[in-house]
């Protein structure tokens, strides 16, 4: 098979960037989309041109490194997969394919198709955890968690932090990502003690990083490689409301009593 | 000169770890604040170690080459994690998990280490639940288990087919908390390129910032390597593209012994390679062997489609060779049987690299719906990759390099032969012997990181006086210089071949001559061809781009260069081990029926190799003494 590729090239964050056309020849239908790019890069290198930088690692759809917008759609035309799980037999021989990076203010471009997604890590650091120390955990069966509840938590937890939801959103909102993370822990009894604090901290971190707001277009769900439902966004909204209205803070301000043990 | 002292405590097996922990010295809480520790790698072992060390009050500098610590390759583990909880009341116990692991490893691991692993396994599950890992549950709310990897009890905990991701997200979230608290500083997109050793102690690392290209040194009181395995030496493997041997290999060149490098595990059920540019082998869950039957046409070179081959012209070779275990024979035996039958010319699919994994009997007996519910996602994945519908025509599978039991030698405290250099997870050699059981790698990574290293490193820090060293210390500057030179040398590459093509050539060579079955002549041939290939690499590799930007070709070429050196060490080890044990099969040492012959009199030892500049590596042996179990012969016929 052969293809005409329009690939985004950008030497660095300061560079303006542009689409450059390449020809991909002798492509086997059994190649993955990334292997097709490997072939292009191989030929560029032999010609003395710098290869296209793009992100990959596990190449089996779980590490979340892939970040290609293929013909305008994050991860390409098929639902429920990452770009590395896309195979060339999916395309028509001779087709023109446009390949761009994730585009969002909070994901600055590092080079070509590689973007900086550390904003996601900072959102996680703001509260995406249960603060328990190592050691001294109670037996795992002390928490009884019904199968349905465990499965729903698992649905949310299957997020691979790829950022396709942000790339697909016209507002570059990270709401589905934050919703998945908040819901995963809010659905489990272990996550309950820090539930309100977590929802507030993660939403605040999302705003701080420069992601946009959610306007219910559901583009995020459509491109999510793990098919995470927008119903988790509703769950996030409930968690956030609960955190800000129902439990705005402690009943008493910091006591000045010198016998208070926390001092 | 290296001396191997395993530091295994004496006395009864079941109280070794407790007594050892009590005899270890502690670091006082106020002193911890002034101690820095470097952790390289953020998979299960690295992330759990870094977060726990941070929680204890140490200052941790944590490094990964990925853009986020959450992407380390532990993420891809599918099956599950073992623990001797005995929730199913089916006869499991610490002793049984210990025995299964040491027997599965074909009696080439240390009793004390394996026993400790089985002991802490139960704590791991509790810790993960506390962190919010959404393990599968029964309707009544209790944790669910499945049977895995050919053992007779159900002790495997799982999160659908993505147990690795969920356990890693648990460890990563703990790490996030410590980053937020300021106890851990994370350095993503930063690759360790060398180890700094000062006065015989590991004191730091030299790294390259993969975005700016800056070469930097970081110093600390101790260094922990959690950098995974080296299956990518075979080019095609189930590992992530970035997985590499550089960190452990560089440490070897600085004096850390490398143990049992020839113990490399080949997984039997991956989707076969189909074209030359293929970059990766995708694993199909081993659970398919519970319901599937493996077969090839009896007649060599039979090109008929599988549905036109009548029953009597099919060879169900695993059922024929291992009537008792049939299609559930252990990984190493199943892999070798597949390769053997393909080498005989009976393989199917492109190049004859494949055998059928046929579920049609199970579909007939149990109904399509049951099979669809159980394996539907695997059938979908298979169709996506191969374009074939496996409900209509049987799947094809072929073995793939998957895990490396070998690694840097460590003592009972997980410290290498360089004082202050600790090695955890797949990067060390410790617990799996010559073969790893399914669902045991996640267990070992978390055992090392959460529960073992944080204790043992304390004793080293409490008993070692170290003076501060800065970036201008002559030893630090020398290592930085060495790394700079090497990066410069790689960037001068203006040849006619890419790093990938050298990697592919090396991979083929290793697969053919030092893969699933090895023999003396082949290994000697490999030892002759590898230096020539390495020389060609340095003459003819093309590495474009600059030093000061993100340069993936430069990163990759550096890793391939290290594989090209490390390959020799692997072959030396395979050549020395004149026996067949676990995943290591020497064709000279087999029965008339093709079963492996282990030699306990000659090879019941850990082979730990020392680097000597400009000469072959030097072998040191750590004898394996079995005080509590009696090595038996694994028979599955």
- Tokens read off for A15: 């560079």
- The number of C-alpha atoms within 13 Å of A254 and in the hemisphere containing its C-beta is 4
Q: Rounded to an integer, what distance in angstroms lies between the CA atom of residue B464 and that of residue B2?
A: 19
pLDDT at A263 over 50: no
Which of B132, B159, B496 lies closest to A46 in CB terms? B496
pLDDT tens-digit readout, B346-375:
999 988 999 999 999 999 999 999 888 888
The pLDDT value recorded for residue B333 is: 85
Mutation for A interface: B58, B85, B137, most A CBs within 10 A: B137
In a domain, A251, yes or no: no
CA-based nearest distance B511→chain A, Å: 21
Average pLDDT over residues B253-261: 98
Helix axis angle, B552-576 relative to B246-253, nearest 10°?
Answer: 60
Mutate to test the interface with B, among A87, A141, A177, A205 (most CBs of B within 10 A): A141
Answer yes or no: do B136 and A150 touch at CB < 8 A: yes
- DSSP 3-state of B358: strand
Out of A82, A111, A140, a domain closes at A111
> CB distance from A33 to chain B under 8 Å?
no
Residues A74, A7 share a domain? yes
A residues 45..74 contacting B (CB < 8 A): 45-46, 48-51, 53, 55-60, 62-65
Torsion of CA B345, B347, B350, B356, to 10 degrees: 170
- Are the C-beta atoms of residues A143 and A189 closer than 8 Å to each other? yes
Distance from CA of B583 to the nearest CA of A (A): 24
Is A35 close to B454, i.e. CB distance below 8 A? no
Question: Which has more confidence, A256 or B558?
Answer: B558
Domain B480-610 has CATH 1.20.1250.20: no
**How close B542 comes to chain A (CA, Å)?**
7
Position B328 scores a pLDDT of 85
Instruction: List the single best residue of B69, B277, B377, B557 to mutate versus A (max A Cβ within 10 A).
Output: B277
**What predicted TM-score, i.e. pTM, was given to this entire model?**
0.97
Q: Decide if pLDDT at A261 tops 80.
A: no
Q: What is the mean pLDDT of residues B144-172?
A: 91
Q: How far is A245 from chain B (nearest CA, A)?
A: 26
Token digits of residue A251 = 């009943």
Q: Are residues A122 and A185 in the same domain?
A: yes
**Tell me: the pLDDT tens digits for B454-511?**
999 999 999 999 899 999 999 999 999 999 999 999 999 999 999 999 999 999 999 9
ipTM of the complex model: 0.96
Give yes or no for B280 touching A (CB within 8 A). yes
Locus of tokens 């008339």: B592
Residue B90 scores a pLDDT above 50: yes
Judged by CB atoms closer than 8 Å, whether chains meet at B85 and A188 is answered as no
Look up the CATH number of the domain holding residue A98: 3.10.20.30
Does residue A216 sit at the B interface (CB-CB below 8 Å)?
A: no
Q: How confident is the model at residue A251 (pLDDT cuts 50, 70, 90)?
A: low
Q: Compute the distance between CA of residue B261 and CA of residue B264 in angstroms, rounded to an integer.
A: 7
Q: What is the structure's pLDDT at B83? A: 97
Pairing of strands B258-259, B605-610: antiparallel
Is the confidence at residue A260, as pLDDT, over 80?
Answer: no
Q: Does B87 touch chain A (CB under 8 A)?
A: yes
- Say yes or no: A23 and A132 in one domain: no
The CATH number of residue A226's host domain is: 1.10.1060.10
Is residue A252 a part of any domain in this protein?
no
CB contact (8 A) between residue A131 and residue B69 = no
B544·A48 Cβ contact <8 A:
yes
Q: Do residues A105 and A123 share a domain? A: no
Range of A181's domain? 117-246
Q: Is the CB of B446 inside 8 Å of chain A's CB atoms?
A: no
Chain A contact present for B384, CB below 8 A: yes
For residue B26, how far is the Cα from the chain centroid? 31
DSSP string, A197-262: HHHHHHHHHHHHTT-B---S--HHHHH-TT---THHHHHHHHHHHIIIII--S-SSPPP--TT-TT
| Whether residue A241 is found in the same domain as residue A174 | yes
Tell me the pLDDT tens digit for each residue of A54-63: 999 999 999 9
Question: What's the rounded mean pLDDT across residues A178-183?
Answer: 98
**Which of A46, A131, A141 shows the shortest C-beta gap to B142?**
A141
Q: C-alpha B591: how far from its chain's center?
A: 29
Which run of H or E residues covers position B35? none
The Cα of A235 is separated from the nearest Cα of chain B by a number of Å equal to 18
Residue B242 contacts A, CB cutoff 8 Å? yes
Candidates B55, B135, B278; nearest CB to A35: B278
Is residue A40 situated within a structural domain? Answer: yes
Q: Do B544 and A12 touch (CB under 8 A)?
A: no
B243: enclosing H helix or E strand: none
Q: β-pairing, B184-187 with B59-63?
A: parallel
CATH of B267-402, one of 3.20.20.70, 3.90.700.10, 1.10.10.10, 3.40.190.10: 3.90.700.10
The token pair at B102 is 């040491």
Could you tell me if A36 and A86 lie in one domain?
A: yes
Among A38, A115, A124, most B C-beta atoms within 10 A, so best to mutate, is A124
Q: Does the beta-carbon distance from B130 to A53 stay under 8 Å?
A: no
> A1 and chain B: CB distance < 8 Å anywhere?
no
Tell me the average pLDDT across B379-399.
93
Are A38 and B282 in contact (CB < 8 Å)?
A: no
- For residue B275, give how far its alpha carbon lies from the nearest alpha carbon of chain A (Å): 7
Q: pLDDT grade, residue A34 (50/70/90)?
A: very high
Residues A91 and A154 in one domain: no
Using DSSP's 3-state secondary structure scheme, residue B7 falls into: coil
What residues of chain A lie within 8 A of the CB of B142, using their CB?
141, 144
Chain A residue with CA closest to B51: the answer is: A134
My answer on whether A122 and A237 are in the same domain is: yes
- What domain count does chain A have? 2
DSSP-derived letter for residue B447 is: I
Is A161 an interface residue toward B (CB < 8 Å)? yes
The answer to whether A193 faces chain B, any CB pair under 8 Å, is: no
Q: What is the pLDDT of residue B405?
A: 98
Q: What's the pLDDT at B402?
A: 96
Instruction: Choose, out of A28, A36, A118, A134, the residue to mutate when testing the contact with B (most B CBs < 10 Å).
Output: A134
Find the CB nearest A111 among B128, B132, B549: B549
- Residue in chain B nearest A53 by alpha carbon: B552
Q: Do residue A89 and residue A174 come from a single domain?
A: no
- Mean predicted confidence (pLDDT) in B413-439: 96
* Whole-number pLDDT of residue B266: 94
Summarised one tens digit per residue, pLDDT across range B564-576 is 999 999 999 999 9
Enumerate the β-bridge partners of residue A114: A111
Are both A66 and A147 inside the same structural domain?
Answer: no
Where is the domain boundary, A71, A96, A111? A111
Question: Is A258 domain-assigned?
Answer: no
d(CA A147, CA B136): 7
A197 at interface of B, judged by CB pairs closer than 8 A: no
Whether the pLDDT of residue A138 is over 50: the answer is yes
- Residues in A closer than 8 angstroms to B163, CB to CB, are none
Chain B: residue whose CA lies nearest to A89? B387
Residue A248 has pLDDT above 70, yes or no: no
Which of A12, A56, A138 lies closest to B241 in CB terms?
A: A56
Helix (H) or strand (E) holding B470: none
Is B71's CB within 8 Å of A64's CB? Answer: yes
Q: What is the mean pLDDT of chain B?
A: 95
Q: Tell me whether residues A63 and B75 touch, CB distance under 8 A.
A: yes
A225 interfaces chain B, CB cutoff of 8 Å: no
Nearest to B387 among A89, A114, A160 (CB): A89
Residues A129 and A242 occupy one common structural domain: yes
Contact B67 A42 (CB under 8 A): no
Q: Is the confidence at residue A262, as pLDDT, over 60?
A: no
User: How much is the pLDDT for A256?
Assistant: 66
Residue B149, pLDDT > 90, answer: no
Q: What percent of chain B has pLDDT over 70?
A: 99
Q: Does A150 touch chain B (CB under 8 A)?
A: yes
Convert B200-219 into a string of H (helix), E (strand) and C (coil): CEEEEEEEEECCCCCEEEEE
A134–B127 C-beta distance less than 8 A: yes
The beta-carbon neighbor of B173 closest among A57, A58, A128 is A128
Q: What would the two tokens of residue B341 be? A: 């039958």
Tokens of B205: 């690392």
A163 shares a domain with A184: yes
Task: Note whether A62 contacts B162, CB cutoff 8 Å.
Answer: yes
B1 pLDDT exceeds 60? yes
Domain-wise residue ranges, chain B: 267-402, 480-610
Name the token pair of B291. 């319901």
């Amino acid at each position: 098979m052969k293809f005409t590729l329009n690939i985004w090239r950008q030497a660095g964050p300061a560079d303006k960037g542009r689409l450059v056309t390449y020809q991909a020849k002798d492509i086997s239908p059994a190649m993955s989309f990334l292997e097709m790019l490997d072939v292009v890069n191989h030929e560029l290198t032999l010609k003395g041109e710098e290869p296209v930088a793009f992100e990959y690692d596990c190449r089996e759809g779980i590490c979340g490194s892939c970040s290609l917008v293929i013909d305008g759609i994050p991860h390409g035309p098929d639902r429920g997969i990452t770009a590395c799980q896309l195979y060339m037999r999916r395309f028509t021989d001779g087709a023109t394919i446009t390949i761009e990076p994730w585009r969002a203010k909070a994901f600055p471009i590092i080079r070509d198709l590689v973007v900086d997604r550390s904003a996601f890590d900072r959102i996680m650091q703001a509260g995406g955890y249960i603060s328990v120390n190592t050691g001294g955990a109670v037996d795992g069966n002390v928490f009884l968690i019904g199968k349905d509840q465990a499965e729903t938590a698992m649905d949310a937890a299957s997020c691979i932090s790829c950022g396709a939801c942000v790339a697909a959103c016209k507002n570059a909102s990270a709401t589905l990502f934050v919703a998945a993370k908040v819901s995963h822990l809010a659905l489990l009894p272990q996550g309950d003690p820090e539930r309100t604090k977590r929802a507030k901290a993660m939403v605040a971190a999302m705003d701080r990083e420069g992601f946009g707001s959610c306007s219910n277009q559901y583009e995020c769900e459509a491109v999510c490689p793990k098919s995470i439902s927008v119903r988790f966004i509703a769950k996030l909204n409930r968690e956030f409301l609960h955190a800000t209205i129902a439990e705005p803070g402690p009943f008493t301000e910091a006591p000045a009593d010198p016998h208070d043990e926390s001092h | 000169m290296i001396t191997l002292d395993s530091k295994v405590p004496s006395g009864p097996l079941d109280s070794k770890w407790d007594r050892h922990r009590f005899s270890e010295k502690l670091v006082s809480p106020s002193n911890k604040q002034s101690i820095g520790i470097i952790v390289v790698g953020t998979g299960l072992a690295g992330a759990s170690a870094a977060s726990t060390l941070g929680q204890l009050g140490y200052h941790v500098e944590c490094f990964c080459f990925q853009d986020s610590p959450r992407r380390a390759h532990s993420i891809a583990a599918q099956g599950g994690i073992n623990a001797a909880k005995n929730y199913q009341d089916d006869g499991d116990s610490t002793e049984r998990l210990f025995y299964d692991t040491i027997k599965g490893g074909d009696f080439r691991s240390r009793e004390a280490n394996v026993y400790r692993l089985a002991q802490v396994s139960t704590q791991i599950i509790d810790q993960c639940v506390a962190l919010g890992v959404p393990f599968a549950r029964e309707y009544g709310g209790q944790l669910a288990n499945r049977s895995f990897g050919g053992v007779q009890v159900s002790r495997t905990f799982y999160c659908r087919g993505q147990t690795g991701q969920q356990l890693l997200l648990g460890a990563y979230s703990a790490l996030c908390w410590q980053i937020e608290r300021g106890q851990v500083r994370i350095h993503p997109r930063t690759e360790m390129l060398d180890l700094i050793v000062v006065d015989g102690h590991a004191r730091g690392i030299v790294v390259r910032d993969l975005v700016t290209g800056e070469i930097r040194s970081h110093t600390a009181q101790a260094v922990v390597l959690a950098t995974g395995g080296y299956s990518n030496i075979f080019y095609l493997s189930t590992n992530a593209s970035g997985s590499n041997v550089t960190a452990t290999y560089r440490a070897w060149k600085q004096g850390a012994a490398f143990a049992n490098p020839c113990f490399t595990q080949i997984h039997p059920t991956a989707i076969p390679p189909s074209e030359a540019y293929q970059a990766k082998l995708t694993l199909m869950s081993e659970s398919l062997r519970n319901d599937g039957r493996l077969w090839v046409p009896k007649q060599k070179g039979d090109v008929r489609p599988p549905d036109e081959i009548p029953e009597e012209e099919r060879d169900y070779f695993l059922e024929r060779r291992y009537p008792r275990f049939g299609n559930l024979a252990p990984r190493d035996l199943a892999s070798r049987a597949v390769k053997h039958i393909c080498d005989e010319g009976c393989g199917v699919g492109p190049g004859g690299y494949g055998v059928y994994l046929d579920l049609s009997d199970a579909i007939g007996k149990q109904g399509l719906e049951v099979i669809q519910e159980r394996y539907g996602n695997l059938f979908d994945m298979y169709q996506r990759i191969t374009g074939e519908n496996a409900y209509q025509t049987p799947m094809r599978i072929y073995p793939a390099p998957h895990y490396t039991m070998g690694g840097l030698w460590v003592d009972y405290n997980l410290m290498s032969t360089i004082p202050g250099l600790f090695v955890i997870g797949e990067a060390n050699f410790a617990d799996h012997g010559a073969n790893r059981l399914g669902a045991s790698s996640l267990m070992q990574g978390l055992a090392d990181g959460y529960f073992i290293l944080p204790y043992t490193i304390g004793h080293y820090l409490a008993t070692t006086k170290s003076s501060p060293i800065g970036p201008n210390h002559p030893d630090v500057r020398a290592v930085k210089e060495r790394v700079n030179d090497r990066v410069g040398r790689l960037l001068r590459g203006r040849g006619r071949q890419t790093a990938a093509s050298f990697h592919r050539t090396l991979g083929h060579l290793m697969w053919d001559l030092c893969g699933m079955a090895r023999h003396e002549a082949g290994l000697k041939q490999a030892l002759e061809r590898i230096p020539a290939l390495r020389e060609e690499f340095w003459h003819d590799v093309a590495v474009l781009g600059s030093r000061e930007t993100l340069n993936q070709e430069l990163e990759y070429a550096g890793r391939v260069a290290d594989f090209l050196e490390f390959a020799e060490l692997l072959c030396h080890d395979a050549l020395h081990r004149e026996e067949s044990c676990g995943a290591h099969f020497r064709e000279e040492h087999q029965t008339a029926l093709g079963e492996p012959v282990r030699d306990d009199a000659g090879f019941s030892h850990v082979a730990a190799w020392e680097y000597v500049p400009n000469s072959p590596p030097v072998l040191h042996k750590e004898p394996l003494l079995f005080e509590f179990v009696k090595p038996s012969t694994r028979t599955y016929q």
